[in-house]
C-alpha cells in the first residue's frame, strides 16, 4: 500500500460524474499522507465521496482518532472537520483554507508530535514555538480560536 494518496483528474471526474468543481481542484496538486498518527487517515480514493449531510462537500478522510470526517468545500476548497451528532445537524469546524495548507499542517504537526516523543526541554520548546509561528504564516485563520487546529497547536506548544 502506498504511503500517500494522490488524486488524478480521472479520479475526480469519476467521483463527480464529469466536471470537477473548482473547490476540489486542489486535490490535483497535493499528495496527502495515507496516515498521520491520531491526526488523519486518508480514505482510499475509491471511498472518497460527497457528504450525505452536505453534497457541497467531498469527504476525503477521518481525523482525531477517527472521530471526525475531513471534508472539502467544493465551492471554495476550504477544509472542514465534520462530527456526526445523533438526532441533529453535524458539528462543522473550520480546519484550513485549502487542502494544500491542510497537508502542510499535517506534516508540521506530525513531525512535532514525533519529536516530542523523543525529546524534551528547551530544544523541543523552541521547536514547538517555531512550528506554531510557521503554521500561523501558512494559514493564520486555521490557528485562530475556534478553528480545529487551534487547540491542537496550543497543546503541542504546552507539552513541549
Residue among 121, 119, 153, 115 at smallest CA distance from 137: 153
Q: What pLDDT is attached to residue 85?
A: 87
Residue 7's contacts (CB-CB under 8 Å, 6 or more residues apart) are: 27, 28, 45, 48
DSSP secondary structure code for residue 18 in this structure: S
Task: Show the DSSP H helices in the chain as ranges.
Answer: 9-16, 99-118, 122-139, 148-159
What pLDDT band is residue 160 in, cutting at 50, 70 and 90? low
Checking if the pLDDT of 117 tops 80, the result is no
User: What pLDDT, on a 0 to 100 scale, did the predictor assign at position 123?
Assistant: 75
More confident residue, 99 or 122: 99
- N-terminal to C-terminal alpha carbon distance within the chain: 33
User: What does the domain layout of the chain look like in residue ranges?
Assistant: 4-97, 102-159
Residue-level pLDDT at 32: 96
pLDDT, tens digit, for every residue of 79-96? 999 998 888 889 999 999
Q: How far apart are CA 116 and CA 118, in angstroms?
A: 6
Bridge partner residues of 41 (DSSP): 35, 62
Query: What local confidence, expressed as pLDDT, does residue 116 receive?
Result: 67
Buried b (16+ CB within 10 A) or exposed e, 15-45: beeeebbebbbbbeebebbbbbeebbbbbeb
**DSSP string computed for 40-85:** EEEPPGGG-EE-SS-TTEEEEEEETTTTEEEEEETTT--EEEEE--
- Inform me whether the pLDDT recorded for 11 exceeds 60: yes
Question: Residue 46: which pLDDT band, with cuts at 50, 70 and 90?
Answer: very high
What does pLDDT average to over the chain? 90
Quick one: average pLDDT of 43-66?
Answer: 92
Q: What is the pLDDT of residue 1?
A: 42
The predicted model gives 9-19 an average pLDDT of 94
Lowest-pLDDT choice from 84-98, 113-127, 138-152: 113-127
Dihedral over Cα of 104, 80, 58, 86: its sign: positive
Amino acid at each position: 500500500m502506498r504511503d500517500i494518496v494522490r488524486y488524478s483528474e480521472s479520479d475526480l471526474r469519476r467521483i463527480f460524474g464529469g466536471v470537477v468543481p473548482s473547490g476540489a481542484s486542489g486535490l490535483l496538486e497535493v499528495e496527502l499522507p495515507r496516515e498521520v498518527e491520531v491526526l488523519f487517515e486518508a480514505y482510499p480514493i475509491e471511498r472518497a465521496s460527497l457528504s450525505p449531510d452536505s453534497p457541497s462537500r467531498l469527504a476525503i478522510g477521518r481525523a482525531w482518532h477517527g472521530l471526525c470526517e475531513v471534508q472539502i468545500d467544493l465551492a471554495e476548497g476550504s477544509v472542514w472537520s465534520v462530527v456526526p451528532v445523533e438526532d441533529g445537524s453535524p458539528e462543522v469546524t473550520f480546519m484550513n483554507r485549502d487542502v494544500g495548507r491542510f497537508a502542510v499542517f499535517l506534516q508540521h504537526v506530525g513531525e512535532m508530535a514525533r519529536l516530542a516523543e523523543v525529546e524534551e526541554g528547551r530544544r523541543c520548546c523552541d521547536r514547538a514555538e517555531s512550528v506554531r509561528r510557521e503554521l500561523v504564516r501558512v494559514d493564520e485563520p486555521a490557528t485562530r480560536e475556534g478553528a480545529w487546529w487551534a487547540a491542537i497547536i496550543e497543546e503541542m506548544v504546552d507539552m513541549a
